[in-house]
Structure 1
Amino acid sequence: MVCERCEKKLAKVIVPDKWKEGASNTTEGGGRKINKNKLLSKKKRWSPYGNTKCIISKQQVHQDAKYCHPCDYSKGVCAMCGKQVLDTKLYKQSNV
């Protein structure tokens, strides 16, 4: 869960390019070169599971977050900035 301010940062979507609209996976319009060495032309791409890890449980997290989903829900904080979003004092939660 994220706060309202951090919701704007969730704009990156993990979907392929639209077909033939400036896509990098087509040969038309200068997109993909045929018989090109992939290792030499490899760009640094955005990956959803980067090197970011949860502060509490050390699990991999997505979208440049500080907390993984189980940790942010149990603490009631925003996953990206750590701001208190939800009061979990009266919730019945287990540590399992």
Structure 2
Amino acid sequence: MVCDKCEKKLSKVIVPDKWKEGASNTTENGGRKINENKLLSKKNRWSPLGTNKCIICKQQVHQNGSKYCHTCAYSKGVCAMCGKQVLDTKNYKQSNV
């Protein structure tokens, strides 16, 4: 749960490109290499050492720039990235399970 301002900062989902022109996942024009060793050619892979932690529960947050995990952000009604109040949770019945 993020606010409208922080929604622009979200990282993109990893999906294959739809068209071959300019796509990074094709074998043509210097795209993907055939029989490439992925361990040697990793670029921007997720690293557990460089992750942020949630301010409240100290759980690892996988989105870059986030302060809160999804569970804590929803239960508090705040934006996960900037901490701005987004939702009024005063009348919600929530458990701490």
TM over 0.5: yes
The equivalent of 2:86 in structure 1 is 85
**Structure number having the greater strand percentage:** 2
Deviations 1:58-91 (A, max 9, x none): 2222322111111011111100001111122222
The equivalent of 1:3 in structure 2 is 3
The equivalent of 2:26 in structure 1 is 26
Residue identity over aligned pairs, in percent, reads: 80
Q: TM-score, normalised by structure 1?
A: 0.74
Distance 1:48 1:74, change over 3 A: farther
Partners of 1:37 and 1:48 lie apart in 2 by: 18
> Which letter maps to 1:12?
K
Q: TM-score, normalised by structure 2?
A: 0.73
SS across alignment from 1:5: helix
1:16 aligns with 2:22: no
Distance 1:75 1:60, change over 3 A: same
The equivalent of 1:57 in structure 2 is 57
Q: How many residues align?
A: 95
